Structure 1
Amino acid sequence: MKPSTLYSLLIISVLSACKPDSVIIEETPVSIITEEISLPVKDDIQLPPVAFTPDIESLRQQGDTSAIRMVALGGSFPSGSRNGGLYREGQMTSIPQLIAHQMQLQSFISPLFEKEQGNGSGYLIYDRKASLPSWKKVTNQTAIISQTPLVFTPFKGTHVDNISWPEGPGTNSDSSNSYFYYPKGKEPYFSYLFRFYADKGTNETPFNYFAYTIQKKTHLLLHFEDLDSWIGWACHTQNFAIQNRLHEGYFYPKHTFIRNYTKVGLKMVLYNMPDFLDFPYFHLYQANQLMLKNNTTGQALSNSALLIPRDGIKKAFASNQKTILLDEDVISADEAKQFRIIIKDVLNTNTTEHFAKLYNLPIVDMYSLYKTILAGKYHTEDGLFIDPSFPNGNFFSEDGIHPTAIGSAVIANETIKKINERYNTKIPLINVTQLAKRL
């Protein structure tokens, strides 16, 4: 499966043949996207007031009188990706944006889409009336200038503090190609990044921009993992050759980055990776139910296989005729097992958690947090139950992958706890119940 499938689903129409004097037999087109719709850009949300004036002076080094600056670096989590897209509402209630509000920073700049183009990349609404799991796609008031290549309107600011975009640093920003590495000189890629990163088509990587902007008197860095990239790679193992990628050299840039900036006193928070194969997106279609229909060929199925919500899978469930399952339709039981090991042991224990111990950095344990939420055992400090059910819960957005504004607030609060604990700050937690009332 191509990564971040929800960003690049195509509408497939199956047309029946028509012969003179013959009976016309039509097969209903089967698409995971049931229709394109128009929705107005939502008004900007006013975040709840903070409970008390934060004390963040301990983030400064001795003798430093500059305004405290925070930078976020990563992929879909900090960018505010939500509902299968990136758009203004998600950006304004992203995890770092919520944290910056609680810190009462003088400035925290995200590369927001302009209000009149606030639907950004477009996004998805889960189709609750469809007989099989499907989505409607919002396509009006977007910031898309061109589809081929994918080009967005540029961000008008001079710099950003939220240096993040879907698929994150080190990969490209064209969702349909995210399993490739940085494609030097290939301008169709990095479509989200190029809104604020000017050196497209050069041999330099985006980390040149990161290094430049982070050195501009930065006090705190939030360093996230690239959720969408790894989901894409898990769903495209036949092209990615994961076993050839995960070696010490692969993680060297991240290690070097952390080592170099902690040496100069930059305070950081790290995030490990949740087990994304637990997310609702991978459980909308059940393999055991499809096996009972006994109408598929191609990819072999088992009860533990994960089915990707794609046109081919929906067609297999909708039709009684034989349907060919492709590799990109299925994550086999062995592939799922392999990736769960990679997430827990390689990405988390041996990499992010190892770096956190090595450099005495706080880490937000996303892996355990998501397990607790998915078990239905998480309440916020202000008493709100965090409901992981889909599509009617309050934690997962309409794509079954990315968090809602409430979900982002939960992760933001877990981050604030770590900052307060490790760096002796006093930052108030978000009142998530109040936030929910404003959404």
Structure 2
Amino acid sequence: MKTKLAIFLAILSSGTVINCSNVGIEEKIESIWQSDNPLLVSEVSIPVKSDPSFNWTPQSGKVDLGALKSGEKEPVLLTIGTGTAAGYRDGGLTRQGQLTSYPNLVARQMGLKNFNQAVFDKQNGNGTGYYLRQSDSELPSWSKVTNNLAYIDPEKNFFAPYSQGLVHNLSVPGNHPNSYQLNPKTTLLNEIQYRNNIPLPPYAMDANYLWTTGNLTNSLLSRVVHSEKQSVWEYLNSIQPDVAIVDINADVYIQSHIQGGQAGLLGPREVFWELNVINYLKKNNTKYVYATIPDVLDFPYFNWYNYKNLSSKLNKPIKIAVSEKDIQEANNRTIFLPTRKVIDLFNGNSENEYLTDLDIINEREASRPELYNNLFVAKWAKEYNHPLVDFYAIYKKILSGNYVTDDGYKIDPSYSHGNFFSADGIYPSAIGQAVLANEVIKVLNASYQSKIPLIDVGLYAKEMEKVK
């Protein structure tokens, strides 16, 4: 069982609102998620990456969209998703990441001109900041890019409001049911003021969960959903989509495991959220595809440290203090997280005799998505008659090393020299996004009589080399 502290951290990052008084003044406030991170070696300034040319994509209006289009007007494509669909990679959201998100690649292949995903301005194209992998390190370490960011305050909580039309990619890292039900700006202010009034104790920050999105979810949503809209749901009602991609809940799995393992997704809040999404699309007669959840514990992030490479450093059992009275031994099924204590253990610098339950995921805490995909996602596909994009199976094939694109490009899932995962070991690279885009296009074509061309991933990879 996780400690009360770990559960509290999970609740905070999930977007659960915390009621506080006197909220509404955006005074200078310290970020509640700042902590000393043993995996970060420096801060660096890097020029904003160039935009891809997209000169290889079909011309607008020249693609046979089959049943995805009715009438002469360009269909409206909406995406409801989490970090992957947003284009989050390398531990951050950037302009280039947004432009190479798989929903934007799908929109480009459909020949759509008006797919709006609130792309950061070029001068602020480093967005939230991101991480550069240090190639000379034995195990992962990073430098953080901190220039040309899109934040408007030095504490990095707020973005300038986006006002250039309705946004069609409502995907953000850490997206969660409460993110849509509540006003994101109010939620953000409440979270920040609460943590300023009641700081986390120092030992709580020793966990240093590298990719915890913290208040980023509501920061990004409040950029789009302004104060006149009470919630993301109200914002959605401004949009009448013709086509949609639904890719939700993967980040709930990712974050619960980053924070040490929780109970998974078999709870009423997620089901309520998903059924609300489905009913919203049905009300608008939207043609849509729905994605299953990949097995996130297969991702490199959860495999950097393991029983073999840690025990070889110690030459003695690895003990875990679940509580004062419950001391357990790790085994080869234990998943070790990149926390300060685990890193110290690997480096031979540990002064602590025990790891804690915050540092590992044991067998009882590892939440696999097979049951969820079968019990809910597949059931809804039959009940509501919508096609599935089976990201679970696609990721399994990629991670087995047996995935080759239709144009013959080999996809390598290895870390850190492969081409599918980005530097954070969780989210796809630009090439990985193209793979997912093609899988969505295949399902759209098979289900709605469209003839959307697939991305030539080899050609796309050559262009991304020019703008990396």
Q: The TM-score by the shorter chain falls in which range?
A: 0.7 to 0.9
Q: From 340, 361, 368, give the equivalent of 1:331.
A: 361
Mapped contact 2:260–2:357 kept (Cα < 8 A): no
Are the structure 2 counterparts of residues 112 and 290 from structure 1 closer, same or farther at C-alpha, using a change threshold of 3 Å? same
Q: Share of identical aligned residues, percent?
A: 34
Change (3 A) 1:119 1:50: closer
Q: Is 1:312 matched with 2:319?
A: no
Kindly tell me the number of residue pairs found equivalent between the two proteins: 398
Correspondence for 1:211 among 224, 233, 237: 237
Partner of 1:229: 252
Q: Deviations over 1:139-188 (max 9, x none)?
A: 11111233647112332412211111111242459xxxxxx9x9487274
| Alpha-carbon distance, 1:43 to partner | 1.0
Give, in whole Å, the separation in 1 of the partners of 2:52 and 2:297.
31
Within the candidate set 113, 120, 136, 2:120 is matched to 113
Distance 1:256 1:290 in 2: 45
Corresponding position of 2:201: none
On the 8 A contact 1:296/1:316 being kept in 2, the answer is no
Contact 1:235/1:328 (<8 A) preserved: no
Provide the aligned C-alpha RMSD in A.
2.7
Question: Residue 227 of structure 2 corresponds to which residue in structure 1?
Answer: 199
Q: Is the 8 A contact 2:441 2:452 kept in 1?
A: yes
If the length of structure 1 is used for normalisation, what is the TM-score?
0.83
Q: Quick one: distance in 1 between partners of 2:356 and 2:96?
A: 35
Q: What is the Cα deviation at residue 128 of structure 1?
A: 1.6
User: Judging changes above 3 Å, is the alpha-carbon distance between structure 1 residues 375 and 183 closer, same or farther for their aligned structure 2 residues?
Assistant: same
Match for 1:145 among 149, 152, 155? 152
Which sits farther off after the overlay, 132-141 or 246-255? 246-255
In 2, Cα distance between the equivalents of 1:260 and 1:197?
A: 18
- Tell whether the 8 Å contact from 1:9 to 1:310 is kept in structure 2 after alignment: no
Of 268-277 and 123-132, more deviation after overlay is shown by 123-132
Cα distance in structure 2, aligned partners of 1:283 and 1:91: 27
Label 1:284 to 1:8 Cα distance change in 2 as closer, same or farther (>3 A): farther
Corresponding position of 1:16: none
Instruction: State the secondary structure of the residue aligned to 1:328.
Output: coil
**Is the contact made by 1:302 and 1:333 (CA closer than 8 Å) also made in structure 2?**
no
Contact 2:78 2:170 in 1 (8 A): yes
Cα distance in 2 for residues equivalent to 1:264 and 1:154? 27
Unaligned ranges ≥5, structure 1? 13-30, 174-179
Contact 2:188 2:219 in 1 (8 A): no
| Partners of 1:124 and 1:291 in 2: CA distance | 29
Instruction: Describe the shift of the 1:385–1:327 C-alpha distance in structure 2 as closer, same or farther (beyond 3 A).
Output: same
State the match for 1:59 in structure 2.
Answer: 68
Match for residue 186 of structure 1? 190
Distance in 2 between the 1:438 and 1:224 partners?
27
With over 3 angstroms needed to count, the CA separation of the structure-2 counterparts of 1:98 and 1:399, relative to structure 1, is same
Distance in 2, matches of 1:285 and 1:8, equals: 24
Displacement of 1:311: 2.4
TM-score using structure 2 length: 0.79
Structure 1 distance, partners of 2:163, 2:271, is 33
Structure 1 counterpart of 2:371, from 345, 354, 367: 345
Q: CA deviation at 1:360?
A: 1.4
Distance 1:66 1:84 in 2: 37
Distance 1:67 1:278, change over 3 A: same
Residue type of the alignment partner of 1:329: D
**Compared CA separation, residues 431 and 231, structure 1 to 2 (3 A):** same
The SS at the match of 2:43 is strand
387 and 334 in structure 1: CA distance in 2 versus 1, 3 angstrom threshold:
same
CA contact (8 A) 2:320 2:355 kept: yes
CA distance in 2, matches of 1:286, 1:40: 36
The CA deviation at 1:266 is 0.9
* Structure 2 residue 261 is matched with structure 1 residue 261: no
How far did 1:296 drift? 5.6
Aligned with 1:152: secondary structure?
coil
CA gap 1:437/1:131 in 2 versus in 1, 3 angstroms = same
Q: Paired residue for 2:27?
A: none
Separation in 1, partners of 2:272, 2:431: 34
Q: Which residue of 1 aligns with 2:300?
A: 280
**Of residues 112, 125, 131 in structure 2, which corresponds to 1:124?**
131
Taking the TM superposition and a 5 Å limit, the aligned residue runs for 1:286-435 are: 286-292=306-312, 293=314, 294=316, 298-299=321-322, 300=328, 301-323=330-352, 324-336=354-366, 339-340=367-368, 343-346=369-372, 348-435=373-460
